[in-house]
């Protein structure tokens, strides 16, 4: 269960989001909550960037101690970053990135966060984390 301090820090982080991207971030949060109600929402400890080209990590969603997805924002769009995104195929080419593990989805409007394809990626990411937890327990 979240402590009061955790909830306050999430609230404080949300309050600092620029108004231009706030509706996108809120839509992304709602979508994550619909897909993974059991996930713990944790405020990232990053600060608002000084450069418009840098990402601001806002919130991460954790299941069984594993970070599954992080929501971050730029000045005009937000992104969902999947910690183990390279381990599954979204089937639609939605996931971007070429790093060893991380993949991301760019969200330019609130509607982008609510697309079926984004929900499918979230389901796959959380299923992967749950499978890992089951395998670790056996």
Alpha-carbon distance of 58 to 42, in angstroms, equals: 9
| pLDDT over 90 at 96, yes or no | yes
User: What is the share, in percent, of the chain residues with pLDDT greater than 90?
Assistant: 67
| pLDDT over 90 at 126, yes or no | yes
Residue 137's pLDDT is: 67
Residue whose entry in the numeric block shows the structure tokens 């400890």: 45
CATH class belonging to 4-137: alpha beta
Residue 116 confidence class, pLDDT cut points 50, 70, 90: very high
Mean pLDDT score, 87-110: 94
Characterise 110 by phi-psi region: left (phi > 0), alpha (psi -120 to 50), beta (else).
alpha
This prediction's pTM: 0.88
């Amino acid at each position: 269960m979240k402590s009061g301090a955790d909830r306050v820090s999430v609230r404080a982080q949300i309050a600092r989001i620029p108004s231009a991207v706030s509706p996108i971030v809120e839509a992304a949060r709602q979508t994550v909550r619909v897909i993974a109600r059991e996930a713990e929402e944790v405020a990232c400890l990053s600060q608002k960037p000084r450069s418009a080209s840098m990402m601001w990590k806002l919130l991460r969603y954790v299941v069984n101690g594993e970070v599954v997805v992080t929501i971050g924002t730029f000045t005009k769009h937000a992104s969902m970053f999947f910690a183990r995104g390279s381990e599954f195929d979204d089937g639609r080419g939605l996931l971007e990135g070429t790093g060893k593990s991380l993949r991301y989805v760019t969200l330019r409007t609130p509607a982008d966060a609510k697309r079926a394809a984004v929900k499918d990626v979230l389901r796959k990411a959380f299923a992967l984390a749950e499978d890992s937890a089951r395998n670790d327990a056996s």
